[in-house]
Amino acid sequence: MKKTIITWVNRLTTVLFILFIVIMSTLIISNKLTNQEAGIFGYQLKNVLSGSMEPTIQTGSIIAIEVLDQKERKKLQKGDVITFLNKDNQLITHRIEKVKNANNHVAFVTKGDNNDTADLEPILSSNVVGKYGGFTIPYLGYLIHYAQTPNGILLLTIFPGISLLAYSAFSIWRTLKNLDNHPKDSIEEK
């Protein structure tokens, strides 16, 4: 019974280890190739590395934003939380405080929930990337951000891969050793 439990724990650990490597590798490669955050079912995952939206969104969280087309961007309202590109091409997630319509253009005055004042410049609807829908995974953003650094790539993909290869080699060696220790069945000639 004990050997069966150890075998199942061993198999489960191996499967989880492989899944971890595949997921981390996919996220890292996807981010590097597209120069964007990972996306799932029309949503993009974004790292939140500042505290401007606390307590709504914790620092270090991963959030899912729904990517919007130009028509949907113009329908955004006061109170919506949006992710947009500022004039320095940085992604920022803040809440819409005011909607301005002028000459068939829509602009938004935004403010972080944790900030004292609104952002200095209104955001054009064309600079809006998406709308936050409430899905958050706290602290995972730190891990994803770290995974994109050279040390993170080494620690979270290469090291587990080498460890998995070493574990596989050990398992094969142990199996071969067990086969050598069992007496061979004698073959009777008739």
Degrees to nearest 5, angle at CA 36 with 30 and 42: 85
DSSP 188: P
Type and span of the H or E element at 17: helix 2-34
- The answer to whether the peptide bond before residue 55 is cis (omega within 30 degrees of 0) is yes
Active site residue 25: no
The partner residues of 85 in beta bridges, in order of sequence, read 91
Catalytic residue among 25, 50, 61, 171: 50
The span from the CA of 150 to the CA of 139, in Å, is 20
> Helix or strand or coil: residue 125?
helix
Cβ contact 118:109 at 8 Å: yes
Cβ contact 83:132 at 8 Å: yes
Cβ contact 89:167 at 8 Å: no
Other CB atoms within 10 Å distance of the CB of residue 108:
25
Task: Give the active site residues.
Answer: 50
